[in-house]
Amino acid sequence: MMLRLARALLVRSAVRDVRTGLLSIAVTGTPPTGGAVLAANHGSWWDAYLIGLFARNVGSDVAVMMGDEQLQRFPFLRLVGAVPPRALRTLVARARAGDWALIFPEGELRAGRGLAALHPGAEWVAERAGVPLVPVAIRVVLRGAAKPEAFIRFGAPVRPEQLRAALASMLDELDRALDAADPAHPLPGYRVVFDAQRFRRDRVGIAGRMLAYLTRPEGFGMRRRGARGRGRA
């Protein structure tokens, strides 16, 4: 009972972090419907949050490989599926049972574009669990709004020897799409699954909206002066 409550509190905290820290999450491609190994690039602190919350929204659960240093700092993350690198067999069991096993084969957080050399853990888990190996491209970027936007692209399952080329190609396509897109509009081909502003790109609060209204040429102050003038005529 206590473990279940702790897990629920952690999930609620993650949802709150996403709501306050991101503008939106948009997804393209077809996510797996059963057990799978997701091999994703790792360019942002948000990556595991994004996949974990999206998995729950589509009725899946996810186990995430996390580095020893991070688990030492945040041991409570084990309650929501984080496992150390030496626990590959735990990921095999979870994927075989129908969950998603999320692995970042670059092995570390890497800012910027490009793809580092990949470690073989994702392929190993997928082969032993007998589940699809699915490349996933993730970007969390500022596109002119006050908060970052997150984009997730699910690829088709690949063979182990195809993973690096497939993931590199997906990242390149996503980056080129972001470079070419109008930041004032959703990215073509992606569906928004979470929007913190309810499809409004910016919200400045009540004080900001009042200030914007009062400083318009037809705003409150000028109308009041105009009304007094009409009363004297």
Residue burial 86-118, b: 16+ Cβ < 10 Å; e: rest: ebbebbbbbbeeebbbbbbbbbeeeeeeebeeb
Enclosing domain of residue 15 = 8-195
Whole-angstrom Cα distance, residue 7 to residue 9?
5
On whether both 45 and 141 belong to a single domain, the answer is yes
Indicate whether 97 pLDDT > 70: yes
pTM given for the model: 0.80
pLDDT number for residue 13: 74
> What is the token pair recorded at 134?
């699915």
Helix (H), strand (E) at residue 195? strand 191-195
Indicate whether 51 pLDDT > 80: yes
On whether both 47 and 18 belong to a single domain, the answer is yes
Indicate whether 2 pLDDT > 70: no
On whether both 157 and 179 belong to a single domain, the answer is yes
Indicate whether 187 pLDDT > 90: yes
Residue among 138, 139, 152 nearest 28 (CA): 152
Report yes or no: 178 and 143 within 8 Å, Cβ to Cβ: yes
On whether both 39 and 21 belong to a single domain, the answer is yes
Neighbours of 63 (CB within 10 A): 25
pLDDT number for residue 222: 42
On whether both 173 and 216 belong to a single domain, the answer is no
Q: Indicate whether 2 belongs to any domain.
A: no
Per cent of the chain over pLDDT 70 is: 76
C-alpha triplet 13, 54, 174: angle, nearest 5°: 120
On whether both 74 and 173 belong to a single domain, the answer is yes
Which alpha helices (H) appear in 22-162, and where do they start and end?
47-57, 68-73, 88-96, 121-129
Count of the separate structural domains present in the chain? 2
Q: Strands, E, within 81-173: which ranges?
A: 82-83, 100-103, 133-141, 149-154
pLDDT number for residue 33: 92
Report yes or no: 67 and 106 within 8 Å, Cβ to Cβ: no
Q: Indicate whether 107 belongs to any domain.
A: yes
pLDDT number for residue 57: 85
Q: Which of 28-37, 50-59, 133-142 has the lowest mean pLDDT?
A: 50-59
On whether both 167 and 210 belong to a single domain, the answer is no
pLDDT number for residue 130: 98
Indicate whether 168 pLDDT > 90: yes
Which pairing describes strands 149-154 and 133-141: parallel, antiparallel, or unpaired?
A: antiparallel
Q: Indicate whether 1 belongs to any domain.
A: no
